[in-house]
A and B are shown apart, each in its own frame.
Chain A
Amino acid sequence: MFLALLLLTAAPASELTDLLSAELDNALEVFSAQDEKPHYLALAVTDQDQVTVSARGGTVGSSIERHERVLDVDLRVGEPALDSTHPLRGFSAMEGSSRSRVLLPAESGYALRHAIRTELDGQYRDHAERIVMIRANRSVKVEEEDNAPDFSPRDESTVDELPIADMDIDREAWEVALSGISAILEESEHVHASNVQIQAVRTAKSFVDSEGSSIVHGTVRARVSMQVQSVADDGDHINVFVSKDVHDPSALPTEDVLTSWATEAVDHLHALRDAPRATPYSGPVLLTGKASGVFFHEVFGHRVEGHRQKRESEGKTFADYVGKPILPDFIDVFDDPTIAHLAGDDLNGHYAYDDEGVPATRAELVDDGVFQGFLMSRTPISGFPDSNGHGRRMAGRAPVARMGNTIVEAAKTSTREQLRTRLRKYAKDQDLDFGILVEDIEGGFTLTGRVMPNAFNVRASTAWRVFVDGREDELIRGIDLVGTPFVAFSNLRAAGEERQVFNGHCGAESGWVPVSAVAPDLLFERLEFQLKEKGQERPPLLDKPGPDGSSDAEGVAQ
């Protein structure tokens, strides 16, 4: 069962892009003869091969390989200055697209062309209707805050075909290995649920547009993850999650490494079960590298996504801060999808071209603490007419500006011990017994609109009380880091020497995209924690069935 997953049934990339180009030309010719004319059209096909192997209860939970081909049509009717993608306001904003995800066959025959034409027809009809509504909406409503055009045409086109690595996964070997790891996880009576999984995905993207671009590129990504869960006696859901993302599946951690992870994960689960629930807190906080990365992703990254500056419903936190300081002068922030590896890790947010066919480029966001600009797709905003290659989407969604590799650098750094010393000092100055060190997080979210508070929530999974009197640190649970961006940034005081990588997937309007956040330890003089929601269920009423609860049955059978 050693599988080399290639697109064996799919047409060669060049054949596919030729087909897409022919369909694009045909559609443009037909649509251009209509009253409402398109000014831009792009077709993209995403081929995704996925292998997932998971284990739970000491046995194989699932073992799946799957291929999927998805079509995306980006059609813009009208003019670049005002086109059918322009946001509607008021009641008309309820008008949504009814288009759904379009799966395509792998073979380049009649069925493929028919599906493409059906979708093109539907998209044209939707956009031709929408531009009429947009014009009326614009005349009825007040002038918009941002009058930038809706699209930035490119002077040059790109023709490129990049090699995409094969994806070799020995499923059978992983089934055996993960089952063994799973058995270790389940040994503890306090592990109420567990899962260990590898997932490898080979993505090939074929893109053509009406500007003459024709691009084939893609990625291979693999992740191993391990999760153990428990319910504490007070009902709190305890969750320990560890993962590793790589670009080459052969670089996934070995069985020995995973075995040690399993032991550590269960030990940590026990420690968290025994740890006290913390109380709401305002005081000094030290975020270690991974937590810092997620902090910047939530607090800063989503607020500098360009398309948000164009929507009247958005908070536009930093729109008026271009050229002004928003962070201490020792901090730089940029987003650079061209970086494949950093700080010893492969970066999830690496790509060569974005989903609008624009080469990925480094976007300078903060330089010496001064805000520089936004992550840009091909939807311009005032003062930022061009894309910087950050138009991204999950297949089946419309692209918007998204993060790739968000990287925080500090010109002035301190050792971890120096940061801990300052943490204690700040706590003492604030008449507190302790400061809080956040070692790990399990994600977060942020609200960027105007109706709800413009706040963030970074979900701490491992946090410690660091006592002023030098006592041993105390593990705590049950709190989340919350706040608002300006206040949080104004309390940033120092940064650490070493950067850590957070690899994950970020969900927003254009779906889930792989991202990385890289940052050093960051020390804040004051941040706030609120109570995390707490589970209310009692732990299981009966003892966990153990391996000794066997019967005469043997093996695996139906």
Chain B
Amino acid sequence: MIVFLALAMAAEPPVTPVSAALSAELERTSELSLPDAPPIYLARTHALVMEQTNILASFGSTVHRNDSPFNVAYIELRVGEPAFDNTGFGGWQTGFTSASLPLQPTEEAVRLELWRGMDRSYKEAVEQYARKSAQFTAPDDYPGDYTLVEPVIDDLGTRDAPDRDGLEALAQRLSATLAEPVDGTRLVRGEVHVGAEAGTLWTLDSSGTHLRRPVAETSVRAVLHAQAEDGMLLADHDYLTAQSANALGTVETLEMSLRVRARRLVKLAEAPAFEGEYVGPVLFEQSAAVDLFRFVLVPQLEGTPDEIPFDSFFGDIGIRSAGDARLGRRVLPVGWDVRDDPLADAAFPGSFAYDAEGTPSQAVDLVTDGIVRTALMSRVPRSDIPETNGHARGALGQRAQGRASIMEVTAPKSDSTRKVHKKAMALAKSYGHDHYIVVRRLQEPSARLRSEPYAYLTDDEAQALPMPLAIVKVFADGREETLRGAQFTSVQRYALRDIAAVGAPETAQYLASADGQPVDSSPTSGLPTRLTAPSVLIGELELVAAPGDSRSIPLLAPPEQ
């Protein structure tokens, strides 16, 4: 109640043509009715009114630039009652739709679009409700489909359009660094994608929620490919996101970072290839440590229940294999904690005061003492977590999922570098090895895509832990030998229980898929996420060789500068 009273005093959003249209058509949803159809119990609209820029530059030149504004309304209609409604059932035409809004969104024009969209949504919702009712009988312990919460009213403002020409210049300048030869050798792919979004997100619902929030995200994604003499492709990437271009850092710093990355990649292509296989301890350091937790732990903490499969002509639709967040399960050793706090850094684009459903966000202690205590939740309940904790994220206009935002994994204690090395070496010896393996960077799965240079996949496409960019053999005397071309075999979630030593914490940000589908070329069309986790020594993992394809060695020499 304290929270609600505080919010009730928050600023009231101004009346604009868009908000007036949303209010007017939302109010009219109460008039929508069909014979014997269940009533609408919650109607929600979001309107994104924003400037958007996407730029792709390759080796110093702009290849593609799109400055189209992005004005869209998303409509979510729920019929029936929270205990059983039209949602959470597979298939499509579910009652959630979108409508493109005009470039100049007058009240009349926006109302026309909403009128059409609401009509379509309502008819679809009624039919989906019937399909679900016919095919699914809720068990006695069914937790229901949705939870209603107190409405919120707040105005967090808006953001002005980005400097598009400045962003293009940034993309060109950064990508130009990727054209620079490294001791006479060049990358085979050097792209920089720059995306920016700035504007307003409106969220209104029939319970009285009325929010105006700023949209402010500028992201840079670099994709670097080098090729070894045996044809092996090595892909690296960089992803930076901030609320504005200025907050990304100075251009000189970004250039320097890319130069270093390019040099390392080119030099790595000259390293020997990994052969055979390895079973034994693996130390994850730097960004690889974060990625280990990103790919193995995070899916176990995102708690929104899967959709009920929809029995269709094409077979069951709606089965998801991700999620699988089970309370009471040990996912980390004793003493470890995991917390996700969307407001831990308000300047981070993945931060939010209200989630996608308009619920105030909360810091959540997901894991304490190594055991899952709760999960990241939207308003879709589950029997063991009946309420939201303000983590609904995902593509607007779709069933929101509880997703990570700013997460921190903490260990009860950490070891010194020397001690970690000692433990690793001792473990390696028990396997009969004279070395252990260190992984410092994984290859972003999307950055490896070659056939479609202007698209990339997100983390969700990774079937397992992605390929390491390099593996480093570390010997007892501290000597290191870098190899390329290794991949993990079936890393299970139990691997995180097998943490043998803990090093210093690392932080990295990544772009999670908003809807489980591959995202397009825009580095802003996903969910910016930040994860902090310590370096860890895993007691046992398996690595096998992933040789290159000699057919892919270019016949044509790269051009002169």
Is B24 in the interface zone, CB < 8 Å from A? yes
Is A558 in the interface zone, CB < 8 Å from B? yes
Contacts of A538 in B (CB 8 A): 123
A347–B557 Cα distance when bound, in Å, is: 45
**B47 to chain A: closest residue by CB:** A558
Interface hits, A110-129 → B, CB 8 Å: 110-115, 117-118, 120-121, 124-125
Q: Closest approach, in angstroms, between the C-beta of A302 and any C-beta of chain B?
A: 30
Q: Closest approach, in angstroms, between the C-beta of A506 and any C-beta of chain B?
A: 27
A105/B66 contact (C-beta < 8 A), A57-B109, A59-B105, A547-B108 known: no
Is A26 in the interface zone, CB < 8 Å from B? yes
Is B414 in the interface zone, CB < 8 Å from A? no
Task: Decide if B61 touches A100 in the complex (CB within 8 Å).
Answer: no
A107–B59 Cα distance when bound, in Å, is: 11
Task: Decide if A557 touches B558 in the complex (CB within 8 Å).
Answer: no
Q: Closest approach, in angstroms, between the C-beta of B30 and any C-beta of chain A?
A: 10
Interface hits, B20-39 → A, CB 8 Å: 20, 23-25, 28, 31-34
* Chain A interface, number of residues (Cβ within 8 angstroms): 60
Is A98 in the interface zone, CB < 8 Å from B? yes
Is A188 in the interface zone, CB < 8 Å from B? no
Q: Closest approach, in angstroms, between the C-beta of B106 and any C-beta of chain A?
A: 5
A552–B158 Cα distance when bound, in Å, is: 20
Contacts of B64 in A (CB 8 A): 68, 103
Q: Of the listed stretches A27-35, A75-83, A251-259, name the one at the interface; the rest are far from the partner chain.
A: A27-35
A34–B551 Cα distance when bound, in Å, is: 13
Q: Closest approach, in angstroms, between the C-beta of B438 and any C-beta of chain A?
A: 33
Contacts of B102 in A (CB 8 A): 55-57, 59-62
Contacts of A549 in B (CB 8 A): 24, 107-108, 111
A110/B60 contact (C-beta < 8 A), A542-B119, A558-B18, A558-B158 known: yes
A124/B123 contact (C-beta < 8 A), A59-B106, A64-B68, A545-B111 known: no
A26–B555 Cα distance when bound, in Å, is: 11
**A555 to chain B: closest residue by CB:** B17
A111/B107 contact (C-beta < 8 A), A117-B554, A540-B119 known: no
Q: Closest approach, in angstroms, between the C-beta of A253 and any C-beta of chain B?
A: 22
Task: Decide if A556 touches B104 in the complex (CB within 8 Å).
Answer: yes
- CB < 8 Å neighbour of A553 from B15, B59, B454: B15
Is A341 in the interface zone, CB < 8 Å from B? no
A553/B20 contact (C-beta < 8 A), A59-B104, A117-B558 known: yes
**A107 to chain B: closest residue by CB:** B61
Is B112 in the interface zone, CB < 8 Å from A? yes
Task: Decide if A558 touches B16 in the complex (CB within 8 Å).
Answer: yes
Q: Closest approach, in angstroms, between the C-beta of A17 and any C-beta of chain B?
A: 17
**A192 to chain B: closest residue by CB:** B116
A57/B108 contact (C-beta < 8 A), A64-B68, A118-B554 known: yes
Task: Decide if A111 touches B109 in the complex (CB within 8 Å).
Answer: no
A58–B110 Cα distance when bound, in Å, is: 10
Task: Decide if B109 touches A114 in the complex (CB within 8 Å).
Answer: no
Contacts of B50 in A (CB 8 A): 558
Task: Decide if B556 touches A27 in the complex (CB within 8 Å).
Answer: yes
Task: Decide if B179 touches A111 in the complex (CB within 8 Å).
Answer: yes
Number of A-B contacts (CB under 8 A): 168
A552/B119 contact (C-beta < 8 A), A56-B109, A109-B60, A110-B60 known: no
Contacts of B23 in A (CB 8 A): 551
**A56 to chain B: closest residue by CB:** B102
Contacts of B123 in A (CB 8 A): 537-538, 541
A551–B23 Cα distance when bound, in Å, is: 10
Q: Closest approach, in angstroms, between the C-beta of A184 and any C-beta of chain B?
A: 14
A118–B190 Cα distance when bound, in Å, is: 12
Task: Decide if B58 touches A105 in the complex (CB within 8 Å).
Answer: yes
Q: Closest approach, in angstroms, between the C-beta of B448 and any C-beta of chain A?
A: 15
Q: Closest approach, in angstroms, between the C-beta of B298 and any C-beta of chain A?
A: 31
A110/B106 contact (C-beta < 8 A), A193-B116, A542-B115, A545-B25 known: no
Task: Decide if A34 touches B555 in the complex (CB within 8 Å).
Answer: yes
A544/B68 contact (C-beta < 8 A), A62-B103, A114-B558, A553-B19 known: no
Contacts of B107 in A (CB 8 A): 549-551, 553
A320–B236 Cα distance when bound, in Å, is: 58
**B159 to chain A: closest residue by CB:** A558
Task: Decide if B103 touches A545 in the complex (CB within 8 Å).
Answer: no
A545/B49 contact (C-beta < 8 A), A57-B113, A558-B200 known: no
A109/B61 contact (C-beta < 8 A), A114-B559, A542-B31, A552-B15 known: yes
Task: Decide if B106 touches A57 in the complex (CB within 8 Å).
Answer: yes
Is B62 in the interface zone, CB < 8 Å from A? yes
Q: Closest approach, in angstroms, between the C-beta of A121 and any C-beta of chain B?
A: 5
Is B561 in the interface zone, CB < 8 Å from A? yes
- CB < 8 Å neighbour of B61 from A112, A540, A551, A554: A112
A26/B556 contact (C-beta < 8 A), A118-B188, A545-B115 known: yes
Contacts of B200 in A (CB 8 A): 558
* Per-position binary interface string of chain A over residues 6-49, scored 1 when its CB falls under 8 Å from any chain B CB and 0 otherwise: 00000000000000000000110011001000000000000000
A120–B17 Cα distance when bound, in Å, is: 52
A231–B560 Cα distance when bound, in Å, is: 61
Q: Closest approach, in angstroms, between the C-beta of A110 and any C-beta of chain B?
A: 5
Is B199 in the interface zone, CB < 8 Å from A? yes
Is B63 in the interface zone, CB < 8 Å from A? yes
Is B452 in the interface zone, CB < 8 Å from A? yes
Interface hits, B522-561 → A, CB 8 Å: 551-552, 554-561
Q: Closest approach, in angstroms, between the C-beta of B175 and any C-beta of chain A?
A: 8
Is A141 in the interface zone, CB < 8 Å from B? no
Is B492 in the interface zone, CB < 8 Å from A? no
Task: Decide if A550 touches B119 in the complex (CB within 8 Å).
Answer: no
A121/B106 contact (C-beta < 8 A), A553-B17, A558-B49 known: no
- CB < 8 Å neighbour of A541 from B32, B49, B110, B189: B32
A551–B557 Cα distance when bound, in Å, is: 65
Task: Decide if B105 touches A556 in the complex (CB within 8 Å).
Answer: yes
Task: Decide if A31 touches B555 in the complex (CB within 8 Å).
Answer: yes
Q: Closest approach, in angstroms, between the C-beta of A61 and any C-beta of chain B?
A: 4
Is B456 in the interface zone, CB < 8 Å from A? no
Task: Decide if B451 touches A98 in the complex (CB within 8 Å).
Answer: yes
Task: Decide if B561 touches A110 in the complex (CB within 8 Å).
Answer: yes
Contacts of B199 in A (CB 8 A): 558
Is B510 in the interface zone, CB < 8 Å from A? no
Contacts of A540 in B (CB 8 A): 115-116, 119
Interface hits, A56-92 → B, CB 8 Å: 56-64, 66, 68
Q: Which of A66, A540, A544 has the most CB of B within 10 A?
A: A540
Interface hits, B170-214 → A, CB 8 Å: 175, 179, 188-189, 199-200
A98–B450 Cα distance when bound, in Å, is: 11
Contacts of B113 in A (CB 8 A): 57
A552–B20 Cα distance when bound, in Å, is: 8
Contacts of B188 in A (CB 8 A): 118
Is A134 in the interface zone, CB < 8 Å from B? no
Contacts of B112 in A (CB 8 A): 56-57, 186, 544-545
A57–B116 Cα distance when bound, in Å, is: 12
Task: Decide if B103 touches A63 in the complex (CB within 8 Å).
Answer: yes
**B64 to chain A: closest residue by CB:** A103
> With A57-B110, A105-B63 given, can you name 4 additional A-B contacts, CB distance below 8 Å?
A106-B61, A121-B554, A546-B108, A557-B16
Question: Which of B's residues lie within 8 Å of A, judged by CB?
Answer: 15-20, 23-25, 28, 31-34, 49-50, 56-64, 66, 68, 102-113, 115-116, 118-119, 122-123, 158, 175, 179, 188-189, 199-200, 451-454, 551-552, 554-561
User: What are 12 contact pairs spanning A and B, CB under 8 A?
Assistant: A34-B555, A66-B66, A103-B63, A104-B63, A109-B59, A110-B61, A115-B58, A540-B116, A549-B107, A550-B107, A558-B16, A558-B200
Pairs of residues from A and B, 5 with the lowest C-beta to C-beta distance, nearest first: A57-B109, A105-B61, A113-B559, A111-B61, A551-B20
